Every structure is written in C-alpha cells, then in structure tokens.
Amino acid sequence: MTDDLLYQIALTLVPNIGSVLARALTERFGNAQAIFEASKRDLCSVEGITEAKAKSIATFDDFTPAADEIAFIEKYKIQALFITDKNYPQRLLHCYDAPTLLFYRGNADLNTSKIISVIGTRLHTEYGKELTEQLAAELKGQQVLVVSGMAYGIDAIAHKAALHNGLNTVGVLAHGLDTIYPAQHKTLAKDMLQQGGLLTEFTQQTKPDKYNFPRRNRIVAGMADATVVIETAIKGGSMITAALANNYNRDVFAYPGRTTDSKSEGCNYLIKNNRAALLTDGRQLMEAMGWEKKKMKKPAQRELFIELSKEERIITDILLAKDTVHIDELYIKSTLSSSTVAAAILNLELQNVIASLPGKMYKLLG
C-alpha cells in the first residue's frame, strides 16, 4: 500500500469535493497527500473552495474505506489511475469534469491512437444489431479500441462484435469492479478482460444506482475520439452521451433510420440538427477521422490555373496562412455570410483545392 494511493482514494471520499474541485486542488498542490496537509487558508486560495469545503478536507480522518479499497485493488490486480498518472486516459484531461481516479482491469491501452465509443438503445431492433455488427466487421484489423457501457442492447452487441472481430473493447461501469451489472454479462465481462478491459470511477460495493449512469456516460464520451450512435429514441442515455461528446468537442456520428421508427428518432434528430454526422459504414468513419491512409492515387490534380471566385479566393488566402483552420475562423476572417462560406468550401472541395478534416477543420491541398 502506498501513501499516495491512500490519499488519492481518500480525496474522492471527502464530502462536497467533486472531480472538478479535486482536479483544481491537485493542480494547485501537486498531489493528493499535499492537499490533506495544506492549511485551511491555503485550501481556500483555490477557486471554488469555500471555508466549509476546506474544513471538510482539513478534518477528514476516516482513511479506513481507502485502506479497504487498496486491499481490494491489490487482491484483484486492479490498476488505480489518478488524474496525474501517465496511464490515465489522456483524452479525458480535455474534459473539465474528468474523474479524479479510475479503477481499471484489463490489457487494452487506454491511450491507443484510435478509440471510438459505440452507444445505443437497450431495446434495439434487428436493424440496430446488424449495423453494430457490420461496423465492427468493417473495422477489423484497424486497431480501433471500442468503448461502450456494458448495458443491454447496442452496448453489449458492440462489445461482443468487437471481440468477434479481434478488436479490443473496454466497458465503462456505473458501479464498482466487485460486481457486474447486468449479471447476464458476467461471461462477456470475463472475455473482455482478455481482450480489452473494464473501467470505472466507482469503488467496490457501489451499486448501479440510476444517478451513476450519467457519470458513467461522460467517461464513455470523453475517453474516445468519436462517438457512434447506432440506434436511440429521442430521450435516453445515448442522447445524453452524444450531448456530452458534443460538449467535449468530440466527433459524433449517427446511423440514420426510417422516419417512422421511434428507435431511430434520436439518431435522425442528431443528424438533422447537425449534432452528428450521418454515418453509413466503417470505412467512412475511418476516412472522416483521418485514420485511413488513402492509397496515393495521383491526386485528382489540382489545376494550377483554376479560376476561383472572389469568395473562394478569400477562403484559400486564409488557408494559405495556416496548416489547418477551423470553420469558425473562416467565418470570422472572411466576413462572408455562413451560406457563402459553405458554398465556397463545397466548390473548393469539389475542385480538390481544400480538404475537410475531423473537428470541422480545413486545409489547403497540394
């Protein structure tokens, strides 16, 4: 048992100190032990730490649950990943409410170069099942880590399909690692430990209470480069996860469905309102994320003397100054209307003058 880990776990147990404040305290004092050793005055110098919260930290003395958790961690060879650890999922550090401490069992690299979250309804249709299995099959051999939430329906199908196609898959839990919920997924969880893993911010004996699931969802959204919504109604956990992914500035994709199908209503809504890009297959996803090295077909050669309109020239001049430019910057610097910019961008893409990149970024070709 290390003092560092004891204090790290204890920090998550202090009343009224959530992940946002815990992170601010860690950035100010350097490590968890130093937080507990700081004076109330120094604690109050951290934004958001009131006298009452400083007192909660200064008077905290019940380290028994933290010691019990360490015994559990050591017994089951669990990795404890504090927010400053190099193996902590680094993508989560870009999320303001990143978990202070994560518990992980598995063999997948949580910082591998390509990670997607696959989410959807618990009450899936055959269409949703087929899409999920098709996506995993199309990503076979691409070293993509598939993340989901271990729930019934699309989550479980995504995990199983990933395993079947040789992809690592990680389940993010809304409870401690001493149990599996739903219980029917125990065999699935065992398989995932051999080809992926299980991840949670909750200590042992934490039950899968309903308010834990939104917290779980932010990890699903935040630790991935992109979130893929397979099938979902207009309300539910998948829509929350998609909204979180948007808030974290992650790419969101959704498969469209029939307008009369309630199980596709959420996906259609996300696409219609530009909160998700329409997705049709795995190759499109790879290309959109810039993960597929296209064979060097002689670039549809950009003509040197292409005649550009005044608006198109304004856009290319902006792109000449930087490697990549966000769409918002194009709007601001061009002073053109959004519809004019959109039309100019489309024409430039069709002429192979510019290329679109993930995150609504653009670059000049050639």
Q: Residue 229 sits in which domain range?
A: 106-288
Based on the domain organization, do 131 and 34 belong to the same domain?
Answer: no
Q: Would you say residue 42 lies in a domain?
A: yes
The mean pLDDT value for 290-315 works out to 65
Average per-residue pLDDT for the chain: 91
Instruction: Tell me the CATH number at 22.
Output: 1.10.150.20
Position 71 in a domain: yes
* In a shared domain, residues 215 and 168: yes
pLDDT, tens only, 107-120 = 999 999 999 999 99
pLDDT bin (cut points 50, 70, 90) of residue 295 is: very low
Mark whether 265 and 117 lie in a shared domain: yes
Query: Quick check: is 220 in a domain?
Result: yes
Residues 239, 349 within the same domain? no
**Residues 348 and 204 reside in one and the same domain:** no
161 with 261, same domain? yes
- 306 pLDDT band, cuts 50/70/90, is low
User: Quick check: is 263 in a domain?
Assistant: yes
C-beta of residue 149 within 8 angstroms of C-beta of residue 255: no
State whether 235 and 163 are in the same domain.
yes
Q: What is the pLDDT of residues 282-291, one digit of tens each?
A: 999 999 999 8
Better-scored residue on pLDDT, 365 or 124: 124
The answer on 268 and 136 residing in a single domain is: yes
Number of domains into which the chain is organized: 3
Q: What average pLDDT does this structure show over 216-232?
A: 96
From the DSSP assignment, how many helices (H) and strands (E) are in the chain? 16, 12
Q: What is the pTM of this model?
A: 0.79
Q: Does the structure show a pLDDT above 70 at 208? A: yes
Residues 176 and 58 in one domain: no
Cross-sheet strand order for the sheet of 251-254: 79-82, 101-106, 196-200, 169-172, 145-148, 115-119, 226-229, 251-254, 277-278
What number of other Cβ atoms are within 10 A of residue 182's Cβ? Answer: 13
The CATH number of the domain where 356 resides is what?
1.10.10.10
Across 316-321, average pLDDT: 88
**Contact (CB, 8 A) for 163 and 192:** yes
Give the pLDDT mean for 95-122.
Answer: 96
The reply to whether 168 and 256 lie within a common domain is yes
CA 76 to CA 161: how far, in whole Å?
A: 27
pLDDT of residue 304: 45
- 16 is a domain residue: yes
Decide if 97 is inside a domain.
Answer: no
The CATH number of the domain holding residue 164 is: 3.40.50.450
Helical segments of 95-180, H only: 126-138, 154-164
Domain edge (last residue) among 75, 96, 131: 75
User: Of the candidates 256, 288, 320, which is a domain's last residue?
Assistant: 288
- Preceding amide of 182 cis, omega within 30: yes
Task: Tell me if 94 is assigned to some domain.
Answer: no
Both tokens of residue 298?
């002689």
